[in-house]
Structure 1
Amino acid sequence: MLTITNLNVAWLELLCFGGVTVAVYLAKQVVIKKNPGPYPPGPRGWPLIGNILDMPRSKPWLTFTEWGDITHIEVLGRHIIVLNSVKTAIEMMDSKSTLYSDRPVLPMAGELVGWKYSLPFLPYGRSFRQQRKKIHRVIGSRAAMDVYNETEEVETRRFLKRVLAKPDQLQDHIRHTAVAVVLRITHGYEVQENNDPWVDLANRVTENCSQASAPGAFMVDILPFLAKVPAWFPGAGFKRIAREWRGTLEQMVSTPHKFVKDQMVADIAPVSFTSNLLKGGDVSAEEDHVVKWSAFSIYAGGSDTTISAVYSLFLAMTLFPDVQKKAQAEIDAVVGHDRLPSFADRDSLPYTNALVKEVLRWNAIFPTGFPHCVAEDDIHDGYYIPKGSLVMPNLWFMLNDPRTYANPSQFNPERFLAKDGKEPETEPSTMCFGFGRRQAQNCICPGLHLADASIWISTAMSLAVFDISKVVENGVEITPEVDPLPGIASHPKPFKCSIKPRSATALALIEQHANY
């Protein structure tokens, strides 16, 4: 039996790499032309291979932080522009959004796995506008989200019950709740309390996407021609991985959609995003495709954001007990002890609102954002930005830039409150979800308001009834490590914490809603 060793794989990649670099070099010598201006500054590349050795394979945002406000690298003929400055990002991606709002083709995640039909991955064009319009109509503003406040509150009460019963499974409870909220809104589906197959499927799809789209994780994203290599070929294990992940994705997209259509035929479909768009019948195949992927795009844009942020909230409360006490004191003063907070209380809880903002700043959910693609040649600040360049905003650094945030390593919600004549610091939402026309108010990032509502109600209800603290093992207090995991969407490294009801009254509140 033939065994494919790591050495075989290394030789294959080396040969492919050598061949393509020589081809790129020779092609450049033939078609070389004089640029209208210099590229932005960047690390000096090597002959033939350019900056491929400078491109980090893990946690790229940390490497990018060491570069300047605008940096240029070239990897096998592909130009990449990394932005570390909010000002530069706004000037390029907001002010010149028509040039900077496209998406690059991502061979692994987009083409091979199949995420290319989902709104976050769609190129700027007709399909993008169709999906965006449908999503914006349903969850494109906080006012539109008010329709789903009851769903959010009911599912969060169920979350409190699960955490009370099994606090050591916090991350699973957060994932379960995020999926439950989205599936209720998009497909009218109420998840089972335990072992729901759609919850497991959704979690696998999310994890697969994060791995597939992480910068530098797969060689095929650097050498796109590898996508044509047969799956049986030595070193082509990524093709087998992509086939498996594609099947999981297709199941997650199609199964809930079919569920709604079957219920509509039986005239028992509850009101949902999908049923509203399909009602009336006579939907074309194209329209059906748009509705199916629009519903999935809400999940793609909202659930992982919620999961990462709520898990980060519990980590922050474990590490910063003084912040937790301030938020609890505000909630107690406004809400009292005889009920749980609701969305009606939101405007009366400024410190709790600021706490949610600080969670989004402290934990950069999308550390390097989604890459954009330049539609036409551009000259910016005297620098030449070629058509087709990838533009990557280093959101992690922007949210930790001392030029924007005082003492950025400090977890301090008060930075977002006006005090003693001092203006609040920059809203993290202006950058943590990206820049450009794709993120503009009238073309909202899918799931932004859904995630915002989920994070806020989870924060308010959890702090109303739980005390979150460090665990003690064998007499030793365990301090969790702050270590974001790699991926296009970053999550805190799994950690332990103690979660206990604040009082007998708090316990009664949780149990009072046990049957929701």
Structure 2
Amino acid sequence: MLERISHLNGEAHAEEELIAQNVAGTTYAAGTDTTASTLYTFFLAMLLYPEVQKRAQEELATVVGADRLPAFTDKSRLTYIEAVRKECLRWQSAVPLGLAYKSIADDEYKGHFILGPSIVMQNNGKSLYASPISGTTHFDACGDVRAILQDREEHPEPEKFKPERFIKDGKINTGVMDPAVVAFDAGRRICPGRYFAELSLFINVTCVLHIFDITPALDTQGKEVKVEPNMTSGFVTHPEPSPCIIKPRSKLTESLILSKNWEN
């Protein structure tokens, strides 16, 4: 954005620079809750499903190797890692209730009458929720983002963290609903930072798995501290505190952290 306005001067440049600052600030602030929550979910999943962590690290060893850090250019070949990222979005919803929309006039959707004005929430497509702002109450069964992503017909055993649900014949299965179509909301006001968020999740998940082992914390008796996949309540939810041990996988991976030759 700064390059695009570099030819401007005076007030015109100042105004465009302020816009660039606001965009950058919004991008940063928007991820401090939602993207952070999904990353916390990733660490929780690695604690509870060590076999997933092992399989992902084996893929990284094959595709990336041990002498460099993962890069965005590796994305197309890291099928299992991509499935892990998708499952992080699906397994525990960062914004479980989604966002509310307002209809401005009477409407109809798949045989459901929506009184205008109404508050409308997206759900699993089997029911519609429309709570009128005023007038006679008119609504069918309620649904939310969490209900969609936990739909047993779409995602069998939804309570389990299973990245392989998104893989078929060694490739991402396009026949399975991508959690991103729900997690980032929908319509004209879909999250404008969704692509940035997905890439951010991908590179964080990839680098963490490539460099570190995530294992359970130990209590004073040397026993593993048990964690549960419980989420806090609120508009944006986070996994409850899950103590763990995060350490470099080897001296070689530790050297990658200290190296200044970062590609990302």
> Shorter chain as normaliser: what TM range?
0.7 to 0.9
Is the counterpart of residue 428 in structure 1 residue 174 in structure 2? no
CA deviation profile, 1:237-266 (whole Å, cap 9, x unmatched): xxxxxxxxxxxxxxxxxxxxxxxxxxxxxx
Q: Residues 319 and 427 of structure 1: is their aligned pair in 2 closer, same or farther, counting only changes over 3 Å?
A: same
Q: Which has the higher helix share?
A: 1
Is the counterpart of residue 447 in structure 1 residue 200 in structure 2? no
Of 450, 461, 480, which residue of structure 1 is paired with 2:227? 480
2:163 paired residue number: 413
Is the counterpart of residue 343 in structure 1 residue 81 in structure 2? no
Counterpart-to-counterpart distance in 2, 1:425 and 1:300:
31
SS class of match (1:402): coil
2:141 paired residue number: none
Q: Give identity over the alignment, percent.
A: 37
Shift of 1:396: 0.8
Counterpart-to-counterpart distance in 2, 1:330 and 1:461:
13
1:398 paired residue number: 148
Counterpart-to-counterpart distance in 2, 1:278 and 1:312:
41
Give the TM-score of the pair, scaled to structure 2: 0.81
Counterpart-to-counterpart distance in 2, 1:423 and 1:448:
19
CA deviation profile, 1:26-82 (whole Å, cap 9, x unmatched): xxxxxxxxxxxxxxxxxxxxxxxxxxxxxxxxxxxxxxxxxxxxxxxxxxxxxxxxx
Residue type at the aligned position of 2:8: G
Shift of 1:456: 0.7
Counterpart-to-counterpart distance in 2, 1:296 and 1:512:
29
Give the TM-score of the pair, scaled to structure 1: 0.43
CA contact 2:2–2:17 (8 Å) conserved in 1: no
Shift of 1:490: 1.7
Counterpart-to-counterpart distance in 2, 1:373 and 1:290:
28
CA contact 2:5–2:16 (8 Å) conserved in 1: no
Shift of 1:486: 2.1
CA contact 1:467–1:501 (8 Å) conserved in 2: yes
Give 5+ residue unaligned stretches, structure 1.
Answer: 1-272, 440-444
Counterpart-to-counterpart distance in 2, 1:472 and 1:278:
55
CA contact 1:354–1:416 (8 Å) conserved in 2: yes
Larger radius of gyration: 1
Counterpart-to-counterpart distance in 2, 1:449 and 1:277:
24
CA contact 1:467–1:499 (8 Å) conserved in 2: yes
SS class of match (2:213): strand
2:135 paired residue number: none
Counterpart-to-counterpart distance in 1, 2:13 and 2:72:
38
1:499 paired residue number: 246
Counterpart-to-counterpart distance in 2, 1:512 and 1:411:
33
Residue type at the aligned position of 2:200: S
Counterpart-to-counterpart distance in 1, 2:15 and 2:247:
51
1:467 paired residue number: 213
Shift of 1:401: 0.7
Counterpart-to-counterpart distance in 2, 1:396 and 1:274:
39
Alignment of 1:135-214 (within 5 A): none
Shift of 1:355: 0.7
CA contact 1:372–1:391 (8 Å) conserved in 2: yes
CA contact 2:229–2:239 (8 Å) conserved in 1: yes
SS class of match (1:446): coil
Of 13, 24, 36, which residue of structure 2 is paired with 1:307? 36
Shift of 1:415: 0.7
Residue type at the aligned position of 1:407: E
Counterpart-to-counterpart distance in 2, 1:344 and 1:303:
25
Counterpart-to-counterpart distance in 2, 1:374 and 1:317:
41
Q: Residues 506 and 381 of structure 1: is their aligned pair in 2 closer, same or farther, counting only changes over 3 Å?
A: closer
Residue type at the aligned position of 1:456: F
Measured on the aligned residues, the alpha-carbon RMSD in Å equals 2.7
CA contact 2:211–2:249 (8 Å) conserved in 1: yes
CA contact 1:370–1:488 (8 Å) conserved in 2: no
Shift of 1:279: 5.5
Residue type at the aligned position of 1:409: E
Shift of 1:435: 1.6
Of 362, 369, 380, which residue of structure 1 is paired with 2:109? 380
Shift of 1:275: 6.6
Counterpart-to-counterpart distance in 1, 2:53 and 2:211:
12
Shift of 1:287: 6.4
Counterpart-to-counterpart distance in 2, 1:501 and 1:451:
25
Shift of 1:346: 1.1
Is the counterpart of residue 456 in structure 1 residue 202 in structure 2? yes
Q: Residues 346 and 472 of structure 1: is their aligned pair in 2 closer, same or farther, counting only changes over 3 Å?
A: same
Residue type at the aligned position of 1:416: F
Residue type at the aligned position of 1:418: K
Shift of 1:293: 4.1
Counterpart-to-counterpart distance in 2, 1:290 and 1:377:
37
Counterpart-to-counterpart distance in 2, 1:357 and 1:435:
17
